[in-house]
Structure 1
């Protein structure tokens, strides 16, 4: 007899779009701070779920947002974990 486990699916939401809007940071400004193209920032912002980025990239984004907005940014500002 085969047993099945009921797995709950968790989602990790990406809030970059909301954080940038709240702090009035443009794609161009964040791109310049990170040494990226504004189109790349636009693509990164368009995700509702956390994109596959590493911890270093996440830290760099937080540092850039902190510098541009004069308010501290932490990874918890950019991600939201929701378990179903």
Structure 2
């Protein structure tokens, strides 16, 4: 399972989805799906823009948790 930490990063800066969309030129739907951890896939360009905006690494934005059910 992959966990997205976008909501935490946005919370630290007290950002709204609309603010982040405006600042990064990403579509509001893209940010909403990541924020709610409902995204099925993420473009490299999206990760690049978010990492640049938050001055973080991909590892700060996403975290992998092994699935123990298998």
TM, length-normalised to structure 1 = 0.62
Q: Whose radius of gyration is greater, 1 or 2?
A: 1
- Can you give the 5+ residue segments of structure 1 that lack an aligned partner in the other structure? 1-10, 67-71
Give the total of aligned pairs.
Answer: 66
Counterpart CA distance in 1 for 2:43 and 2:26 is 16
TM, length-normalised to structure 2 = 0.71
Q: Larger % of helix: which?
A: 2
- Can you give the 5+ residue segments of structure 2 that lack an aligned partner in the other structure? none
Q: Report matched runs for 1:1-84 at 5 Å.
A: 11-38=1-28, 40=29, 41-47=31-37, 51-64=40-53, 66=54, 72-83=55-66, 84=68
Runs of 4+ in structure 1 off by over 6 angstroms are none
1:13 aligned counterpart, secondary structure: strand
Deviation at 1:44, TM superposition (A): 2.8
RMSD in angstroms over aligned alpha carbons?
2.0
